[in-house]
Amino acid sequence: MDWAFDEANRDAEVEAVDLPEYVGLRTAFKFVCPAEICRCLLNHAIPEKRVPYFRTWPGHNHHPDCDIDGAQKLVSKARRERLDTRDEKNFAACPARLVLKVHREVVDSEAAVSGSAGRTKAARDHQGDGESQSSGNSRRTVGTIRHICRAFLNYPHNRDQSLSIPGIDGHSYLSAFKKIPWEGLGQYPSRKIFYAPLHWSKFKVDENSIEISLDAGLRENKKLIDGHKVIVDWSDWSKAKRTVLQKELEGRLEEAKEAAGTKKKAWLFFIGEQDSADRRYFRVDDSRLICCFVDELIWVSY
């Protein structure tokens, strides 16, 4: 599993990739399955060369009716066929909007005295919701692009679902995302969630930034000779946050190498500005606006 709730911290939603930073900042944590009916105890793993993950402890299985298992079945269906858009339950995992909040530690005395309402609030705050959840649309609001990109991969036949991201041209999954083509060095003046596969080459890392090469750009006999690159300016990030991103990228590259020969690739997703003087480069400076998944990208024409 790649996300869980931390019961010891009022059900904060924790992404597996964030584990090195998350556990480093806390003395107490207890990870559980986020499904209300299940909440089985989860173990976490932070392997040296792989992306961190959650898994069940021996003897602590998911509840037979666990929503998370249900979601997995739903996802395999969603990857095969279009889901009925009239049934909101089908799209509980598809975020409707991204809201970037100014970061703050949630201190909520009401929630601290526990009670499920308090817990729900804490979990909502962690996602960066606010009151928009009750606007009649049950699809959720998120605080990073991660769940949005996961939904883009998992619901290929429903990419016409609405999506609102501040500053992005496009109001559906279909129009908010833009693939950087395999061939050519293009110019992309519209602000989108860009995506392309990672190139095999090493990441260039220093105090101020990490440079990520994409498998997209100028080619000669199919070989990449001058590719697009994403420069993440992390000069004002904590060391832990830098480690999280670097580890995620290196782990995904390893996963992608192991998946060579299959249809899976390491897809980098990001919201960034293209350099106006040198179109090869894109710049990103917010850790909430970049993520990477190893997956098959399913193409569907609309």
CB of 36 to Zn ion, least distance (A): 10
Q: Which is nearer to Zn ion, 147 or 178 (CB)?
A: 147
Helix ranges restricted to H, 81-177:
109-112, 116-127, 146-154, 173-176
Q: Angle formed by the axes of helices 67-80 and 146-154, to 10°? A: 50
Pairing of strands 223-233, 290-296: unpaired
Out of 42, 51, 68, 245, the only residue in the binding site for Zn ion (CB under 5 A) is 68
Out of 4, 16, 17, 33, the only residue in the binding site for Zn ion (CB under 5 A) is 33
Identify the CA nearest to 182 among candidates 126, 138, 223, 230.
223
CB of 4 to Zn ion, least distance (A): 9
Q: Which is nearer to Zn ion, 66 or 193 (CB)?
A: 66
Out of 4, 12, 16, 38, the only residue in the binding site for Zn ion (CB under 5 A) is 38
Q: Which is nearer to Zn ion, 38 or 212 (CB)?
A: 38
Stretch that binds Zn ion, among 25-33, 106-114, 118-126, 251-259 (CB under 5 A): 25-33
Q: Is 4 in the site for Zn ion (CB under 5 A)?
A: no
What is the distance between the alpha carbons of residues 257 and 250, in angstroms, rounded to a whole number? 11
Q: Where are the beta strands (DSSP E) in the chain?
A: 3-6, 12-15, 31-32, 42-45, 53-56, 97-98, 141-142, 177-179, 193-197, 204-205, 209-220, 223-233, 264-270, 273-274, 281-284, 290-296
Q: 3-state DSSP: the chain helix, strand, coil percent, rounded to 5?
A: 30, 25, 45
What is the distance between the alpha carbons of residues 50 and 251, in angstroms, rounded to a whole number? 4
Q: Is 66 in the site for Zn ion (CB under 5 A)?
A: yes
- What residues numbered 191-210 form the site for Zn ion, per CB under 5 A? none
CB of 40 to Zn ion, least distance (A): 5
CB of 38 to Zn ion, least distance (A): 3
- For residues 137 and 96, the answer to whether their CB atoms sit within 8 Å is yes
Q: Is 284 in the site for Zn ion (CB under 5 A)?
A: no
Q: Which is nearer to Zn ion, 18 or 67 (CB)?
A: 67
Size of the site for Zn ion (CB under 5 A): 6
Q: Is 62 in the site for Zn ion (CB under 5 A)?
A: yes
Stretch that binds Zn ion, among 38-46, 134-142, 206-214, 279-287 (CB under 5 A): 38-46
Q: Is 74 in the site for Zn ion (CB under 5 A)?
A: no
Residue 74: alpha-carbon gap to chain centroid: 19
Q: Which is nearer to Zn ion, 38 or 198 (CB)?
A: 38
CB of 268 to Zn ion, least distance (A): 29
Q: Contact residues for Zn ion (CB under 5 A)?
A: 33, 35, 38, 62, 66, 68
